[in-house]
Chains A and B, each alone.
Chain A
């Protein structure tokens, strides 16, 4: 989609690079919490792939807007990141807010969703 909308292969490459790195971070998180790869953790990872690229996409798109407005590359990158920082943080918190009810779950539901939840939050 980034390739389609921005028509820039380099930007796409940057956004795509964040996917394996984020997944790697979540695997480190798995390792630190003593979890294993199983149907629940893999479901969490699969669900998180879609939202992984959002942050980088917003950032890159804003860089292109600044570059199109005639800014120098370094300035465009800096301004784009500063401008989108708060919106990106709020977007992340909005996504994470979905999991607040899962902290109040009990019994088998809690057991089932516990791993899945962290695998969405970590990457």
Chain B
């Protein structure tokens, strides 16, 4: 405490005697921090990232990733969405038109980088039917009825079917979404079907895209709120806005450091600007 009491007046003397040097140092650090802050990247979160690497549950998962080429998976949902009454649009996902579409989509997905395995109702049907897709709904129904394997791919009301996709370890989450969407967009979808990407693995990159705008919005609101309170408290524009300089510099320094040490921003840390602003100055 005694040392601190001596240090603070000493620092005050330096600031009052050499304000421009102190300012230059602060600006230099701020410049470096700005460079560092440009390197900050947003990233997704998953359970594995949240746990220490030496836990048995994680080492087992790492082993599976090594041996089986990843334990992450994605899903494509194909739902019935008929546009017109009495049209020939499929009313049952076991319709050969749907199965044929699922088959082509499954085969195309196998060519996407980082996709290791694709399973769907069509792959199962081919396995059971000597590699031939049934041409009529009755044959499909006969093959799928009372076969528990299809429960994972065809819904009980026959309104939805899934394509399950296994992904390699360290798959590129951004590229895989782009590639899959491209295939879905390019492959003509039979009328009355809706095709969507699903699964937690693909949801996280979508959330990641929201982080930047989200941080900007919360920071803006936080800043406006703080400015209003400071102006009300100090009843002076000059004294009300002066503390904001420290907030701005603090945020830049913090982000610079985060960027320089290579720590990305994720869902759990996305509120950091608002927290710094609200914190102290």
Q: Is A bound to B? A: no
Question: Which chain B residues have a beta carbon within 8 Å of chain A's beta carbons?
Answer: none
Question: Which chain A residues have a beta carbon within 8 Å of chain B's beta carbons?
Answer: none
